[in-house]
Amino acid sequence: MSDQIQTIDYRYTDAGAVDRNRVLRNTYWLLALSLVPTVLGAWLGVATGITRALSGGLGLVVFLVGAFGFIYAIEKTKNSAAGVPVLLGFTFFMGLMLSRMIAMVLGFKNGTELVMTAFGGTAGVFFLMASLATVIKRDLSGMGKWLFVGAIVMMVGGIINVFVGSSVGMMVLSMMGIGIFSAYMLYDIKQIIDGGEDNYISATLSLYLDIVNVFQSLLALLGIMGGERD
């Protein structure tokens, strides 16, 4: 009888389950903490108007350089003590970048209501996707490549629309963003639950980007369709 070598996938042992739960718990805590610098950055941007001049191509360049620079730094420091502060610095930067759109929406008569609706809608989407991720047993890893393609198409369309300035284009991109990044939430949370992501800083970054994109898309759509001028 030939000897058979058996391998164990530790993701599905009791120890693996403990590790997955720990990563998920730490991710949710850090995600909640990351919203504090985001709110501070958005408040500072709205109060001072510091991002008001960042329109068109200039705003796009500042955002892309800053965002990709921070994401690179986060991935480089995710296994060190510097990982969390770098991530929180990124969320403050994203708050600043969001402040220009928030300020525009707050300029509507019902602006505060629209911002709160977008926030509540984003929270609702997150809790729905988190709940689905815990009950779906199917492996969703195959979704990743299709969602990535959709995100690239949306990013290219967004860059083009910066220069075109089409309201219809913005509406289409916003609806795409809500759909794509809601699905990304489900995918990213399921990856943590299944053990496909074992670093809570990387997991937090992924979910944070999903949440910001859904919020931004909802806010843009609400502003276009429901903004009331004085």
| Weakest-pLDDT range from 105-109, 117-121, 139-143 | 139-143
Asked if pLDDT for residue 229 goes beyond 50, the answer is yes
What pLDDT does residue 132 have?
Answer: 93
| Residue 120 pLDDT | 95
User: How does residue 64 score in pLDDT terms, banded at 50, 70 and 90?
Assistant: confident
- Residue 6 is predicted with a pLDDT of 46
Per residue in 5-52, pLDDT tens? 444 444 545 556 777 888 899 999 999 999 999 999 999 999 988 877
With pLDDT > 70 as the criterion, what percentage of the chain qualifies? 90
Tens of pLDDT, residues 75-93: 999 999 899 999 999 999 9
Q: What is the mean pLDDT of the chain?
A: 87
SS (H, E, C) the chain: CCCCCCCCCHHHCHHHHHHHHHHHHHHHHHHHHHHHHHHHHHHHHHHHCCCCCCCHHHHHHHHHHHHHHHHHHHHHHCCCCCHHHHHHHHHHHHHHHHHHHHHHHHCCCCHHHHHHHHHHHHHHHHHHHHHHHHHCCCCCCCHHHHHHHHHHHHHHHHHHHHHHCCHHHHHHHHHHHHHHHHHHHHHHHHHHHHCCCCCHHHHHHHHHHHHHHHHHHHHHHHHHHHCCCC
Q: Average pLDDT for residues 158-184, to the nearest whole number?
A: 87
